Amino acid sequence: MAARSPTFLPLPKAAIAFRPEFLDFERGIRVGNLEDNERITRLLKTGLEHRFQQPFVTERWGRGVYWQWIGYLPRANRTAKPLSSHVSFGCAKYFVTVDTEEKLFKCGMQVERGYLDPPDDYPDCRLRPDWDWNRLVASIRRAGPMLEEMRRLVVNEGFMIFAGSWESGSVAFSRARPPDAAALRKALRTAPGDHWAGLQIYYPMRRNEVRGTTGVDLIESMLAIFGEVTPAMNLVMQVEL
């Protein structure tokens, strides 16, 4: 696991009641029927707002007791967007998810492209000029701070990268295949316009790693992972953290 820095939670460890089994590799992330000090949404948002001293917006994919994906984005970065301040798709964000197919818990940062040719029912999901995606694509160069940061995270810290469409045409990077500027640019620029596309830089944890630790350690590790990817997020956001 990535090296952890001191906890960013303004809560004593004894007050955190999150448990490893709330990351369910069959159903997703448990968020329902829990107390506030058990709920990952509340604990991570509190930790981020305490660390950065600014409000964050919580986004999610899922419904009911178990959610599949949860994202956190700085409200100031969204508010600064002249065309897209009413949506979160255009903002870089921290995220956590349980991938029930790969059987991985993933934690890190995400930048979405959305659609170039959206369905008629989702006009706000069309890529706009003020989205962080455009800064991300421009930042991918053979020699530059973004590629250096990606390589540091992947090679030194064990992170992984997903880039492209979730339906087809994606590319993945790991220690076995470090990030390459040309392959990244191709994946980002050629993802089909009628597919949802994006980039994730994440730290993966398997079921045995999750189950082998405590809830407090997991929350602290997630916040530490968010800290590790913050320099990369700052390279693509309008308003830095």
pLDDT of residue 14: 82
Do 200 and 25 form a contact (C-beta atoms < 8 A)? no
Q: How many residues make up the chain in this entry? A: 241
Show the domains of the chain with their CATH numbers.
13-234 (3.30.930)
Tens-place pLDDT, residues 57-79: 999 999 899 999 999 999 999 99
**CB distance 239 to 149 below 8 Å:** no
- Burial of 83: CB neighbours in 10 Å, binned 0-12, 13-18, 19+: exposed
- Rg of the Cα trace of the chain? 17
Structure tokens at 140: 């991918």
Q: Could you give the CA distance from residue 40 to residue 57 in angstroms, rounded to a whole number?
A: 14
Burial of 32 (0-12, 13-18, 19+ CB in 10 A): exposed
Residue 109 carries which side chain, given as an amino acid letter? M
Alpha-carbon span 150 to 180, nearest angstrom? 10
* In the block, residue with structure tokens 């308003």: 239
| pLDDT lower than 70: segments of the chain | 1-8
Report the pLDDT value the prediction gives residue 7, as an integer from 0 to 100. Answer: 55
Closest CA to 174 of 151, 199, 148, 144: 151
In three-state secondary structure terms, 206 is: strand
CA dihedral sign, ordered 10, 16, 19, 25: negative
- Angle made by CA atoms 81, 42, 33, in degrees to the nearest 5: 125
CA distance 207 to 96: 15
Q: How far, in Å, are 26, 131, 181 from residue 73 at the CA level?
A: 27, 13, 26
Q: How far apart are CA 201 and CA 161, in angstroms?
A: 5
Predicted local confidence at residue 8, as pLDDT: 63
Cβ(157)–Cβ(1) under 8 Å? no
Chain CA centroid to CA 200, Å: 6
Task: Identify the pLDDT of residue 1.
Answer: 47
pLDDT in tens, 4-43: 444 567 778 888 999 999 999 999 999 999 999 999 999 9
Contacts of 63 (CB under 8 A, 6+ apart): none
